[in-house]
A and B are shown apart, each in its own frame.
Chain A
Amino acid sequence: MRTIQMREALREAITEEMRRDENVFLIGEEVAEYNGAYKVSQGMLDEFGPRRVIDTPIAELGFAGIAVGAAMNGLRPVCEFMTFNFSLVAIDQVINASAKILSMSGGQFGNPIVFRGPTGSAGQLGAQHSQSFANWYANTPGLKVIEISNPYDAKGLLKSAIRDNNPVIFMESEQMYGDKGEVPEEGYLIPIGVADIKRAGTDVTIVSFGKIMKVALAAAEALAQENNIQVEVIDLRTVRPIDYKTVIESVKKTNRLVVVEEAWPLASISREISYEVQRQAFDYLDAPVRCITTRDVPLGYAPTFVEEFLPNTKRVTEAVKAVVYV
């Protein structure tokens, strides 16, 4: 199978859906003439023209709201945030409008829209460019929330998100746009709300999603090599709705769970998973669930701070060893 970059996989998804449906369009900062801040939309202006690939001023609240209004009136916008840190400026339109239009109107006005862009840390970018908001958005009924970890999932899930008739938050990472992965030439869809077992194992379950899946997989590999601990690694892929079934089935098999997430700990997805696991699989657990999240502080600039802040292989392997009592 051919290998392409994450940005190419995302571009193919949007491009294919725009060819398929005239109502799909891309709107955001630098998406057209600049070819995308991270080159996701490279060449799309040439193919579709300025009517469907639309540069905006730096006005997230305004252009997100215009996209939401357009979706109320029959279009299917793909609304790009240069980073989800900037989406906070637009969050009124996402939470108060997009997520609620269908319900408030008694089902009359829908909101088929995708808000997409990178989330999380991406090196030494300082406190305002290093935040994760998947759990914030996942808290809101009316939204679906996806965070991808590789090019194959990215393409299949983004196509599903664009075809979905509900508002979908689709989260990427600046540090993954250059990642390469196998993506078939022919089109395919991946259903929203279905987790994927990225590595099968018998001793411990690790649940994760997004960029930090790399840490989870690296830790699993190290534990297999060095400690002969076979870790099952589940990529949630969607964090609203969460595929609890896959998680619970795995925990019933391994009896141990570590959740790895790039987000602040309080009210995080990992602590949410922990509740559900004790609720549904209490008698199967042989150790307390452990959550490895970012540190509970704003991320500072220095490299030492980045190292301290993020979940890493060492912290994950230690947590796994703790739940297997070695």
Chain B
Amino acid sequence: MGKDKSTYPKETYLKWYEDMLLMRRFEEKAAQLYGQQKIKGFCHLYIGQEAVVAGTMSALNADDRLITAYRDHAHAIACGIPAKEVMAELYGKATGCSKGKGGSMHMFSKEHNFFGGHGIVGGQIPLGAGIAFADQYRGGKQVTVCYMGDGAVRQGALHETFNMAMLWKLPVIFVCENNGYAMGTSVERTTNMTDIYKIGLGYDMPSKAVDGMKCETVHEAIAEAAERARTGNGPTFLEIRTYRYRGHSMSDPAKYRSKEEVEDYKTNKDPLEQCKAVIAKNKWMNEADFETLENKIEAHVAEAVEFAENSPWPTPDELYKDVYVEEDYPFIMD
């Protein structure tokens, strides 16, 4: 292991950087819009964790599958869902990627093999294994990446799923995005075994911890796990160590951790800055180029907001659609 940074080509770095910049600026805008009450409900931001999903996508094929929990905006964008459709979903508009039925926590796109954001902690873990089960059943070569937070690993669903995924050698990669806190409870306060990756070892699942603040290390770990899955050798559990800069959700002031801790990540380990440094060092982009990119992303986000603003609300009759496949289900109305 331990590929040198320079072994990844220029295009890979440029894509990582541009994708992560879009995720971050998109979410910074979402936070602002939440403050203006354009976005309602629960809203969980990914800011700080971008390298995890960016490093994943560069190591996968287009027909591989993703499923995650409710901190799902960046995953949706990374899968290729247009930012404007994600923004429209945050607004609850009919043009959103889930037609306004999902909101922040439930982005979906069949076209982009994004099996959704799921709102019950750990509930998506067996679903991810099931998606992989279906591909294996059909003899497909797809791999499913199933994300969860560090809180979810304490759910029974994980343990039941790990056992069966190993028993049946399902082509799935379980990724714990360990950002240190399950809402306001630190990993240390939930367990005496803080090395989360070791949970996989109890099922003889290949497992390891990965630096999640760098796209390179994430890409490398995912690529290795994807190869294992694709060649019929079953699942992998990756504890990708990362950090969220914002609170658990928009209503969380994050008083359970120190300012110094947050500042250390922002200043010394930021995934965008680390990626940018490699690009700058190799002179693949200069200051003017970075500024041009910033402007391009800013315009992209502005366009997404404009699209969401100008999109219609779903009509009330839509509420009765997609509950059942057939459109004539006899709902009780009074």
Contacts A97-B123, A106-B98, A110-B325: A62 and B137 contacting too (C-beta < 8 A)?
no
Docked-complex contact B323 and A69, CB < 8 angstroms = no
Docked-complex contact B108 and A70, CB < 8 angstroms = no
- Give the shortest distance, in Å, between A69 (CB) and chain B (any CB): 2
Contacts A25-B137, A107-B99: A59 and B160 contacting too (C-beta < 8 A)?
yes
Contacts A73-B65, A110-B325: A61 and B129 contacting too (C-beta < 8 A)?
no
- Give the shortest distance, in Å, between A75 (CB) and chain B (any CB): 5
Q: Is A225 an interface residue (CB 8 A)?
A: no
| B 295-334 to A, binary, CB cutoff 8 A, 1 in contact else 0 | 0000000000000000000000000011111100111001
Contacts A92-B120, A102-B322, A102-B324: A65 and B126 contacting too (C-beta < 8 A)?
yes
Q: How far is the CA of A103 from the CA of B128 in the complex (A)?
A: 19
Residues of B within 8 A of A92 (CB): 120, 123, 157
Q: Is B152 an interface residue (CB 8 A)?
A: no
Docked-complex contact A68 and B106, CB < 8 angstroms = no
Q: How far is the CA of A59 from the CA of B203 in the complex (A)?
A: 15
Docked-complex contact A72 and B98, CB < 8 angstroms = no
Q: How far is the CA of A65 from the CA of B164 in the complex (A)?
A: 11
Q: Is B130 an interface residue (CB 8 A)?
A: yes
Q: How far is the CA of A141 from the CA of B331 in the complex (A)?
A: 9
Docked-complex contact B101 and A97, CB < 8 angstroms = no
Residues of B within 8 A of A144 (CB): 324
Q: How far is the CA of A110 from the CA of B110 in the complex (A)?
A: 10
| A 64-92 to B, binary, CB cutoff 8 A, 1 in contact else 0 | 11111111111100000000000000001
Which one of B119, B120, B126, B137 contacts A64 once the chains associate, using CB atoms below 8 Å? B126
Docked-complex contact B161 and A106, CB < 8 angstroms = no
Q: Is A38 an interface residue (CB 8 A)?
A: no
Q: How far is the CA of A241 from the CA of B333 in the complex (A)?
A: 13
Name B146's closest neighbour in chain A (CB-CB): A69
Docked-complex contact A57 and B164, CB < 8 angstroms = yes
Output the residue of A66, A70, A72 with the most chain B CB within 10 A.
Answer: A66
Question: Which residues of chain B (118-174) have a CB below 8 Å from chain A?
Answer: 118-120, 123, 125-135, 137-138, 156-157, 159-161, 163-164, 167
Contacts A65-B123, A241-B330: A102 and B323 contacting too (C-beta < 8 A)?
yes
Q: Which residues of B are at the interface with A, using a C-beta cutoff of 8 A?
A: 65, 67, 96-102, 106, 108-110, 115-116, 118-120, 123, 125-135, 137-138, 156-157, 159-161, 163-164, 167, 321-326, 329-331, 334
- 5 shortest A-B CB distances, which residue pairs? A69-B130, A65-B126, A62-B160, A106-B99, A73-B134
